[in-house]
């Protein structure tokens, strides 16, 4: 069960990476490259959120704070210090972890709805700091002036193709690590908390430690998504830190599915593709997206990938009733 | 391990849930706690297991004071408990339920280095499943188990922590007559084989009188009587407060 699934995940990741890197050799489409770069940022962001939502039962409405923080911290480090791109990225992840620890320490003990509200409040506070602290962040104009020294391991990130390859690698590796987290003993503990928190405490587990660890890990990977976003827009803008960005991640998670690991990735891709397609036809993007989300949540009652996986399981074992032994494996 | 409570008291607002309860559960004893609804039986368990902090009084394990310790700390001292309504992890299979409990017991629950389950956890989980008779449904999703099997799984979760004292809150709640006897016989076998100090809350008087070595009667948060089956059966205060009405109800 253990070694097998780890190898399978590794194989899936390797194949995905090979396919992603091979695409530009066959298809010349700058639009596609841009799309994947944006998906990479959003997928890391949404999947890290789902470690909290689907993995632990913690619905955060302020996860976008760490996405925005990643973008701003990284862009500022590149503009204002002489750090190399790799060093600035590493420092950004540390900043994301520290911020996650601080915000998590405040929020983690709160019950469901209070947790949601306080995380949202934290993000709004963070957003107003960005807007107000003009000398550092450029206020509502955002951080302009681009990101210098865009070179990493021989990749010149001024080239769209190189940024595409880097984003693909970061996305696949990042998702692989998050997958490992959810398949680890800690991941199992988080599922216990989601299923039955009081019982988990009675089994001798320190609930706040498990939740806080998850919160910090999620913050780090949201920051990683933020770094990709900053590289893509060549700067950082308040929209990356404002609360609707948290809503987007929640939509991605809901659209794709919370019970399947790749659900949020699928959701991110659907959300961005849909947004692009709708914008071409009408200016009422929000209205159309809203209708789609309503259809998925009320009609399918769960994410697209969750529905597909369920159908697949049924086809594999058409006669298996839930109580049949061994059916689960 | 022996369990003692001394002058335990807990009030909720103006309501005295448990008042000055002093009881001794010697190592390896099998005790039933009975009493009318609202007598404070579940509160008593919650005080011992660390869910509530007592207002005054002490909880002693082999003489060591564990009063006011956290739930996790008390579990690590060896007091396990199961619940009136089966408290399990419904999205996991029986084996997974027990494996996470085993991982928790071994202090491996925060592990990030390897994949779940940790080495040996499955074997140990199967041993525990065997112990309560759930081995043949090990790979069934626990939400799909029968009511009785869910109660067994709840007890098995406690057993996975290798407790020396086990508190069972109405192990036969919600079961038919036949199922009740099967359940209580299993519990009795566990008590013998695992050499547990076992305390259970029970409403079925036939079961209580047949199984328990000692019976403690709680009423309005106080100890009304204690003794063996014969002593309790003939105790006038118990008959007035509890047994009389119980027999009418039955």
The percent helix, strand, coil of chain A (3-state, each to 5) is 75, 0, 20
pLDDT in tens, A212-270: 999 999 999 999 999 999 999 999 999 999 999 999 999 999 999 999 999 999 999 99
Pairs across A and B, CB distance < 8 A? 124
Distance from the Cα of A198 to chain B's closest Cα (Å) equals 9
Q: Chain A: which residues have CB within 8 Å of chain B?
A: 1-3, 5-6, 180-181, 183-189, 191-192, 194-196, 198-206, 209-210, 213, 322-329
H helices present in B164-228, as ranges: 177-194, 205-211
Q: How many domains does the structure of chain B reveal? A: 2
**A121 pLDDT higher than 80:** yes
Gap from A181 CA to chain B (nearest CA, Å): 6
Contact state of B96 with A188 under an 8 Å Cβ cutoff: yes
Whether B26 and B58 map to the same domain: the answer is yes
Q: Is residue A313 part of a domain?
A: no
Are both B218 and B236 inside the same structural domain? yes
The tally of domains found in chain A comes to 1
A324 part of a folded domain? no
Residue A328 has pLDDT above 60, yes or no: no
The DSSP output letter for B10 is: E
Instruction: Identify which of B119, B169, B42, B243 has the alpha carbon closest to the alpha carbon of residue A2.
Output: B119
Smallest CA–CA distance, residue B91 to chain A, in Å, is 7
3-state per-residue secondary structure call for chain B: CCEEEEEEEEEECCEEEEEEEEEEECCCCEEEEECCCCCCHHHHHHHHCCCCCCCEEEEEECCEECCCCCHHHHHHCCEEEECCCCCCCCCCEHHHHHHHHHHHHCCCCCCCCCCCCCCCHHHHHHHHHHHHCCHHHCCCEHHHCCHHHHHHHHHHHHHCCCCCEEEEECCCCCCCHHHHHHHHHHHHHHHHHHCCEEEEECCCHHHHHHHCCEEEEEECCEEEEEECHHHHHCCHHHHHHHHHHHHHHC
Determine the 3-state secondary structure of B74 from DSSP. Answer: helix
Tell whether the model's pLDDT for residue B250 goes beyond 60: no
Long-range contacts of the stretch B184-188 (C-beta < 8 A, 24+):
B184/B211, B186/B132, B186/B133, B186/B152, B187/B155, B187/B211, B188/B30
- Write the CATH number for B203: 3.40.50.300
- Of B162, B192, B208, the last residue of a domain is B162
* Domain span at A80: 2-240
Q: Is residue B187 assigned to a domain?
A: yes
Inform me whether the pLDDT recorded for B247 exceeds 80. no
Q: What is the dihedral of CA A52, A56, A61, A62, to 10 degrees?
A: -40
Residue B249 forms part of a structural domain: yes
- Judge if ipTM > 0.95: no
- What are the phi and psi torsion angles at A80 (to 5°)? -105, -10
Q: Which chain B residue has its CA at the smallest distance from A184's CA?
A: B115
* pLDDT over threshold 50, residue A323: no
pLDDT the model gives residue B92: 96
The residue of B45, B47, B51, B71 whose CB has the most chain A CBs within 10 angstroms, and thus the best one to mutate to test that interface, is B71
- Picking from B88, B96, B141, the nearest residue to A196 by CB comes out as B88
Measured between beta carbons, which residues in chain A are less than 8 angstroms from residue B99? Answer: 188
Domain assignment present for B98: yes
> To probe the interface with A, which of B72, B147, B156 has the most A CB atoms within 10 Å?
B72
Taking only the tens place, the pLDDT of each residue in B183-228 is: 999 999 999 998 999 999 998 889 999 999 999 999 988 989 888 8
Residue A159 counted as domain residue: yes
pLDDT class of A301 with cuts at 50, 70, 90: confident
Q: Are B107 and A177 in contact (CB under 8 A)?
A: no
Check A203 against B117: CB less than 8 A apart.
Answer: no
Last residue of a domain, one of B162, B192, B217: B162
From B145, B162, B179, give the residue that closes a domain: B162
Range of the domain at B158: 88-162
Would you call A209 and B111 a contact, using CB atoms and an 8 Å cutoff?
A: no
Residue B83 domain-assigned? no
Q: What is the pLDDT of residue B156?
A: 95
Q: What pLDDT digit, counting tens, does each position of B107-157 carry?
A: 999 999 889 999 999 999 999 999 999 999 999 999 999 999 999 999 999
Is A140 part of a structural domain of the chain? yes
pLDDT tops 60 at residue A124: yes
Q: What is the reported pLDDT for A152?
A: 83
């Amino acid at each position: 069960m253990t070694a097998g699934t780890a190898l399978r995940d590794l194989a899936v990741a390797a194949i995905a990476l090979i396919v992603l890197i091979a695409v530009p050799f066959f298809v010349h489409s700058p639009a596609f490259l841009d799309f994947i770069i944006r998906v990479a940022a959003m997928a890391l962001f949404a999947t890290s959120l789902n470690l909290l939502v689907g993995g632990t039962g913690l619905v955060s409405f302020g996860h976008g704070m760490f996405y925005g923080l990643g973008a701003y911290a990284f862009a500022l480090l590149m503009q204002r210090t002489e750090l190399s791109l790799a060093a600035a990225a590493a420092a950004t992840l540390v900043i994301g972890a520290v911020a996650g620890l601080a915000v998590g320490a405040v929020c983690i003990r709160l019950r469901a709805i209070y947790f949601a509200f306080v995380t949202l409040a934290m993000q709004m506070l963070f957003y107003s700091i960005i807007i107000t602290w003009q000398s550092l962040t450029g206020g509502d104009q955002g951080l302009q002036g681009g990101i210098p020294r865009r070179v990493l391991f021989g990749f010149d990130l001024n080239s769209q193709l190189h940024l595409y390859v880097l984003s693909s690698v970061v996305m696949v590796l990042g998702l692989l690590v998050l997958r490992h987290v959810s398949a680890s003993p800690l991941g199992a503990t988080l599922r216990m908390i989601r299923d039955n928190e009081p019982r988990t405490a009675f089994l001798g587990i320190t609930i706040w430690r498990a939740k806080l660890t998850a919160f910090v890990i999620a913050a780090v990977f949201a920051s990683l998504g933020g770094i990709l976003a900053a590289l893509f827009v060549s700067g950082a803008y308040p929209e990356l830190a404002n609360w609707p960005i948290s809503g987007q991640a929640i939509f991605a998670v809901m659209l794709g599915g919370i019970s399947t690991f790749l659900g949020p990735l699928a959701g991110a891709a659907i959300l961005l593709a849909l947004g692009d397609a709708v914008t071409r036809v009408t200016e009422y993007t929000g209205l159309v997206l809203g209708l789609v989300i309503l259809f998925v949540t009320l009609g399918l009652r769960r994410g697209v990938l969750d529905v597909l996986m369920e159908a697949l399981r049924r086809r594999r074992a058409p006669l298996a009733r839930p109580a049949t032994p061994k059916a689960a494996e | 391990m022996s369990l003692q409570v001394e002058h335990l008291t807990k009030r909720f607002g103006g309501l005295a849930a448990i008042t000055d309860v002093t009881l001794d559960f010697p190592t390896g004893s099998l005790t039933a706690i009975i009493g009318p609804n609202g007598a404070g039986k579940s509160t008593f368990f919650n005080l011992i297991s660390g869910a509530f902090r007592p207002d005054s009084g002490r909880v002693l394990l082999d003489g060591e004071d564990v009063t006011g310790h956290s739930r996790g700390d008390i579990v690590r001292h060896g007091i396990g408990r199961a619940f009136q309504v089966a408290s399990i992890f419904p999205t996991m299979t029986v084996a997974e339920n027990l494996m996470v409990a085993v991982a928790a017991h071994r202090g491996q629950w925060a592990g990030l280095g390897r994949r779940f389950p940790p080495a040996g956890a499955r074997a140990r989980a199967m041993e525990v499943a065997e112990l309560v008779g759930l081995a043949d449904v090990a790979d069934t999703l626990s939400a799909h188990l029968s009511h009785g099997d869910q109660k067994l799984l709840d007890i098995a979760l406690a057993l996975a922590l290798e407790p020396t004292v086990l508190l069972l809150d109405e192990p036969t709640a919600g079961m038919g007559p036949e199922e009740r006897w099967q359940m209580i016989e299993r519990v009795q076998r566990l008590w013998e084989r695992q050499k547990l100090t076992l305390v259970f809350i029970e409403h079925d008087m036939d079961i209580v009188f047949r199984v328990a070595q000692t019976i403690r009667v709680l009423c309005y948060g106080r100890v009304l009587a204690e003794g063996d089956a014969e002593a309790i059966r003939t105790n006038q205060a118990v008959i007035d407060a509890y047994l009389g009405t119980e027999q009418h109800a039955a």
